[in-house]
Structure 1
């Protein structure tokens, strides 16, 4: 395998101390099925990400309140031991009686998402499928939701999303704070890491890695076609305290069970990080490797009760602009909503993603199945190109109430015999050449359509002063030869 060495600056929501995970090596995968899947995934552009678990009962910051770390985004508990006992009992209150996987799938489709990633298990170890490895699971007969129609939540969601032709991603945490072989009851648990010395207790660590392997194998075996294994908890890595999760073994099993599956051992680098996942952050420049930004609609990944998030929900215009910016740089957006204890989402968050979806329904041709093209961005304009490299899309992002008469495409010289159309309507628009730039007449828009105006340009002579026309296949070939 050829290797690309990159210094990736990641902004990580969970801890600024994770700067140590930046600058990891990226290995260009040579498995033809994986490369084909990666190419298809890069066509999709928008994913629907959901954090959901027993922590949503109290609107907690996912699993993190059980960790004793002095970080600014956690409120410490005076009696952490007592709180942990309370926390790990939350599944006894978790009864999402309003959960309807078909309704979730409809929302994903309405927002314009093309793939779905679900937290099958977060760091607290509570498993949202019918695992045979632990009783700490949604289908435990002692828990109230165990006998519901959709008790195997992961399976019901994956089935519903496939009916909408979604790619399926299984998020699972590598660390498991409920497992006695990760957090041994023999010792205190001062932080997120394994709480014993692995070299002194190799039998415990083997039991833990076998447990993890077996849970992943269940997901790969019993839940239909899975396209992405999305791994979280980068600190569970052999480079940190010897926490070797046996990723070669895990990855090989996944590829045997699910040929072509993309494995995302995020922030770790190497063979099993098929694409990069900056968190709550959009890179300043286009990246040469596959990547997605995972980002929340409000301030947090997990559910927050309505009154605490209303002022933090991103506006639909802002989300749309973020998506456009990400796509222009060659990335995907994995957009997260946290589900409520009842099994739905905050009204304000649903409204903004549906509004973004309304814009995509009209302008998706400039987003889906496109690739990056220099100069990517200039002022309020973003560029994309068709995969065959024959057409360019210029997307003019507008602020509320903004209705300019014309837009200057400073990085794009349109051929005199070209045709420019408004993507949303298919109507031809008038343009003129201005030196090495193009001046385009702007159509008037209202409502969600006014977030941005996308133009399809049939023929371009120059982009940012360079001759245009190199196909994506040629660009990909160049990248593989780096």
Structure 2
């Protein structure tokens, strides 16, 4: 995924603490700059309406069922320990890892199957890993032969070999906004991890100031690949840049632990890249993760939900399983847990980017489709309380969570119980948002009339027996 450090830079909800052990909860960058480009502002507004997106980490590493890329990085050996059968020495391991290119043949790849399943579950945008830190590109770059379309890769003979093109075209046809994940660091590039020196950590392994020509070559390489992605793959709505240690040295925040480990200037000229990208894709949202300024259009807490509502655009990227990459027999979150997470995120004004990792055969684990079907059943009856909504105080009160329509005429109140399987209580009492005077009230998914009354700043609801059919979370919808 991205920067893997244990931090306390976000206050995390207790229900997600167990999933933080191996990944960083990205600090919310200070100094957020609101975009001024009208097309970007409009795109951000539309993106905030979508609420629920699909993240996909996929690469040759899926064949070994290991964490994406990180086992190549010496500093991360403590949590990505290499298996002896994959190589007894570091050099042998890297050789065998890169040789996975010659056996990658995901013949069950069918992006339409994915798009159909996640669309029914309510997902409305997709972010796909066009290139992770290991440098293997899932698109047809002309800058490297370390790619899925290389003759070295068996899948290159498949008519759908350019999987980025196939995924983007398929999901775009289904009405999704399209996001391209791209790693700024590239551990395969000899201009980033120069073979003259051994890599020590995730950063560039030479001093760019001492070897400016080599660093300039890397900048050109990065620029050219991003130009390919944003000029040859149709309309792209989001450029999601990972690897926040590749940044101008002056942007390092010494208060953030992981940023203090960056010792080299790694400026890749985001102004030049961003200008080019916006020329290719007018209005595109650019997410230069953790690097505050005009190229971080929204912020991205990882495997975590902020404790409080944020006043700027944000998105939590959280895995459906335990891992961002495919791992055999992964532990997938229950449908109730996924819906609870969605509700907690949207009540605080964010979007939920849920990661599902395809396997080496090119398909999801069967249990993923079970989860998506269960979520779609809940979404069918409750989607009006999810999409196109915004946060409203008090946001969260006990087991109640709130959203409102953008015009403020509707308030949605979600009732959940994350301590056990959800069962709707016969009587519910909750706080009414200040200055909201409801004139009507329904419970989504129930055909029976609901008895209710307002007492001061609270509403008391008496639910019919029909409530027993409601699963995961109940939604009360009030209108002025």
What is the CA-CA distance between 1:357 and the residue it aligns to? 2.3
What SS does structure 2 have at the residue aligned with 1:145? helix
- Asked if 1:363 corresponds to 2:391, the answer is no
- Give the count of matched residue pairs: 447
Structure 1 distance, partners of 2:76, 2:477, is 51
Could you tell me which residue of structure 2 aligns to residue 9 of structure 1?
10
Instruction: Tell whether 2:253 aligns with 1:247.
Output: no
Question: Which consecutive residues of structure 1, in runs of 5 or more, have no partner in the other structure?
Answer: 1-6, 460-482
The structure with higher relative contact order (CA 8 Å, sep 6+) is 2
Q: Structure 1's 446 and 158: CA in aligned 2 closer, same or farther, altered over 3 A?
A: farther
Structure 2 CA distance for partners of 1:132 and 1:14, relative to 1, 3 Å: farther
Distance between the aligned counterparts of 1:191 and 1:180, measured in 2? 15
Of 88, 92, 115, the match for 2:98: 88
Residue 72 and residue 350 in structure 1: after superposition, are their counterparts in 2 closer, same or farther (change >3 A)? farther
Contact between 1:383 and 1:395, CA under 8 Å: does it hold in 2? yes
**Do the aligned residues in 2 keep the contact of 1:378 with 1:411 (CA within 8 Å)?**
no
**Alignment partner, residue 259 of structure 2:** none
C-alpha RMSD over aligned residues = 2.1
Q: Distance in 1 between matches of 2:207 and 2:139?
A: 31
Secondary structure at the counterpart of residue 146 of structure 1: helix
1:211-290 alignment to 2 at 5 Å? Answer: 211-239=221-249, 240=262, 241-290=264-313
CA distance in 1, matches of 2:447, 2:224: 52
> Could you tell me which residue of structure 1 aligns to residue 191 of structure 2?
181
The match for 1:467 is none
| Partners of 1:172 and 1:10 in 2: CA distance | 27
Matched, 1:432 2:453: yes
C-alpha distance 432-72 of structure 1, shift in aligned 2 (>3 A): farther
Give 1:45 deviation, angstroms.
Answer: 0.2
Task: Trace 1:95-106 onto structure 2 (pairs within 5 A).
Answer: 95-106=105-116
State whether structure 2 residue 114 is matched by structure 1 residue 114: no
SS in 2 for 1:89: helix
Q: Structure 1 residue 415: deviation in Å? A: 7.2
Matches within 5 A, 1:306-317: 306=329, 309=330, 312-317=331-336
User: Is 1:372 the counterpart of 2:391 in the alignment?
Assistant: yes
| Local SS of the residue matching 1:454 | strand
The 1:341–1:135 alpha-carbon spacing in structure 2 relative to 1, beyond 3 Å, is: same
Contact 1:429-1:440 at 8 Å conserved across structures: yes
1:264-343 matched pairs, under 5 angstroms: 264-306=287-329, 309=330, 312-343=331-362
Residue in 2 that maps onto 1:137: 147
Q: Unmatched 5+ residue regions in structure 2?
A: 1-7, 13-18, 250-261
Shift, 1:13, TM fit:
5.5
Residue of structure 1 equivalent to 2:181: 171
Shift of 1:350: 2.6
Offset of residue 387 of structure 1: 0.5
SS of equivalent residue, structure 1 residue 404: coil
Equivalent residue number for residue 406 of structure 1 = 427
Equivalent-residue separation in structure 2 for 1:313 and 1:369 (angstroms): 28
* Structure 1 position 122, deviation (Å): 0.4
